[in-house]
């Protein structure tokens, strides 16, 4: 899955979870810092792939498949960010930016090892 698709799913997931409503294409465009027309095109593509439900003038919601994928991306992000803040002592903003870049390239196996490492570290404290 492309970085772009993962970013869309993650932003949709976080917005809809926080606001308990569909996200409008203009809102998503603002979050991703892109043009609304690009969001509309991607929303149609994501709907074809089965990740979202897109209804013009209403907004975008995740399907079960889309939410499952978005949760995995968000879990990677949180885990990496926690490592960067707690172990490398990066500030929250920098850690979040770095986690956003790393979440797309970190393998699931490495993610699991990182989670184990963080748990062991927590147990020592």
User: Is the C-alpha dihedral spanning 19, 20, 25, 31 positive or negative?
Assistant: positive
**For residue 109, how many other CB atoms are within 10 A of its CB?**
8
The closest alpha carbon to 72, from 82, 60, 80, 61, belongs to 80
Q: What is the pTM of this model?
A: 0.87
Q: What is the mean pLDDT of the chain?
A: 93
Length of the chain in terms of residues written: 125
Cβ–Cβ < 8 Å for 14, 74: yes
Cβ–Cβ < 8 Å for 31, 47: no
Asked whether residue 31 carries a pLDDT value surpassing 80, the answer given is yes
Q: How confident is the model at residue 122 (pLDDT cuts 50, 70, 90)?
A: confident
Longest CA span, the chain: 52
Q: How confident is the model at residue 3 (pLDDT cuts 50, 70, 90)?
A: confident
State mean pLDDT over 41-50.
96
Query: Which pLDDT score is estimated for 109?
Result: 94
Q: What whole-number distance in Å separates Cα of residue 78 and Cα of residue 106?
A: 13
User: Which domains does the chain possess?
Assistant: 3-68 (1.10.10.10), 71-124 (1.10.60.10)
Q: What whole-number distance in Å separates Cα of residue 31 and Cα of residue 122?
A: 33
Quick one: which H or E segment has residue 35?
none
State mean pLDDT over 102-107.
91
State mean pLDDT over 103-115.
92
State pLDDT tens for residues 5-30: 999 999 999 999 999 999 999 999 99
Asked whether residue 125 carries a pLDDT value surpassing 70, the answer given is no
């Amino acid at each position: 899955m492309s970085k772009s698709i993962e970013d869309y799913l993650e932003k949709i997931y976080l917005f809809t979870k926080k606001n308990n409503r569909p996200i409008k294409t203009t809102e998503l465009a603002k979050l991703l810092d892109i043009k609304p027309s690009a969001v509309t095109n991607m929303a149609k593509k994501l709907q074809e792939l089965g990740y979202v439900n897109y209804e013009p003038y209403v907004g975008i919601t995740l399907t079960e498949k889309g939410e499952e994928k978005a949760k995995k991306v968000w879990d990677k992000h949180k885990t990496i960010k926690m490592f960067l803040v707690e172990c490398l002592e990066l500030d929250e903003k920098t850690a979040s930016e770095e986690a956003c870049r790393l979440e797309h390239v970190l393998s699931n196996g490495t993610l699991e090892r990182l989670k184990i490492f963080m748990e062991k570290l927590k147990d020592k404290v």
